Each structure stands twice: as C-alpha cells, then as structure tokens.
Amino acid sequence: MTDSDKAPIDFWFDFSSPYGYLMSEKIDALAAQYGRKVRWHPVLLGVIFQATGSRPPVDGTSSKATYMLHDFHRSARHMGIPYNPPSRFPLPTQNAARAYYWLHGQDCTLARQFAHAVYRGFFVNDLDISSPDTVLDIAAGLGIDREKLAAALQAPEIKARLKDECDKALAAGVFGSPHVIIDGEAFFGADRLPQIEHWLATGGF
C-alpha cells in the first residue's frame, strides 16, 4: 500500500480542550512519519456532553477537577509544549469552529494555521477565543479578510456545517476531546499518543 492509499486520520476536538491543544501540537507530525494525513474536526463539547449525558472533567471543585487542572500542566511539561492556564476556562468555541470550517472550504493549509493560532492564543496567550472580535483578530493576523469572515460566522450554511460535524462526531462515538480515529480504531486523550504511534507503525495490535 502506498502512502496515498492510506486512509486519513480523523482528529476530533474542541478549541477549549487542553488535551485537544496538546494533541494538536503533535498529531500532524506523527501522522506524516507514517504517510498519513489528518482531518481536523472542531466540535462543541457542550453539544457532545448534552447528548451523551457527560459533564466537563473540571466541573466544580471536586478532587477530580483539582487533579485534572494539575495534570494539564504536567502533561504539557512532559510533552514539551508551552502551556499557560487561561484565566477564563472553559469558553464557548462556536465562533472559532465556524471560522475554521469556512476557511477549510477555501484553503486547508490556512485553516490548519488558524486552528493552531486559536489554540495557542487560548492556552499560551490567554485570549478570549469565545469573542468574535478575538477570532477575527487571530484570523486577520494570518492575512484573512476580516469582513468576509465576520459575515461567514453568521452564515446559515456555516452554522449548519458545525452542527453536522457535531452530529457526525456523535455517530462516530466521540464523547470528548481529543478523540482520534485511525482505520476505525478510536483513541481518546493526548496520553494515547504512544499507542497511536505503535498502531501506525505496526498496522494495528
């Protein structure tokens, strides 16, 4: 099988997910080592949690929430990825997700650059990525037409695209972020990167 014959990897995530951010910094390079491409799918965890009856892992002041907030730092250090806990967390991410899909329809590479900029803006620079103005600022910094994107954020077809992606995520069994699916095999969490690499290297185990 040639590299072009290998199915793409699907990467489902929410822009407010710390572990999604960590996965986003690694998954493309890892996939490329094994001749794979990655399809990025931003979704809304609020929609996923409502449909699955789940709750955010850092909801409230439980021991689990305290652990998770600590683990975000530790995981980032372990993976060598910059991480500055945002002052407002989590945040709604529909504007960033809509912007991604609008951009993806025109330029996949630019959409990927935008996604990285949004994630780093939130988890490194503490930007309020729930704000349409912030999303537009990030996009403008990449040379994207601000007025066209502002209109796209309210376009019915872009809103429908995000809803459709959330529906597809649920149909694929996605229940959180990040969720990576390779040849039908699902891996949940940034800590599954070693397993993902093993799977790609061996063709399954």
Helices 132-140 and 108-123, interaxial angle, to 10°? 120
Is residue 84 within 8 Å of residue 30, measured between CB atoms?
Answer: no
Q: What is the DSSP letter of 60?
A: S
CA 54, chain centre distance (Å): 18
Query: What CA–CA distance (Å, rounded) separates 45 from 56?
Result: 8
Q: Among the residues of the chain, which ranges form H helices? A: 18-24, 27-33, 45-52, 63-79, 94-104, 108-123, 132-140, 146-153, 156-171, 193-202
Rg of the chain's alpha carbons, rounded to an integer?
A: 17
Of 4, 16, 17, 131, the active-site residue reads: 17
Active site (annotated) includes residue 17: yes
Query: What CA–CA distance (Å, rounded) separates 119 from 116?
Result: 5
What does each C-alpha distance from 21 to 7, 108, 148, 174 come to in angstroms? 23, 19, 27, 17
Hey, what are 159's tokens?
């809103």
Mind telling me the catalytic residues? 17
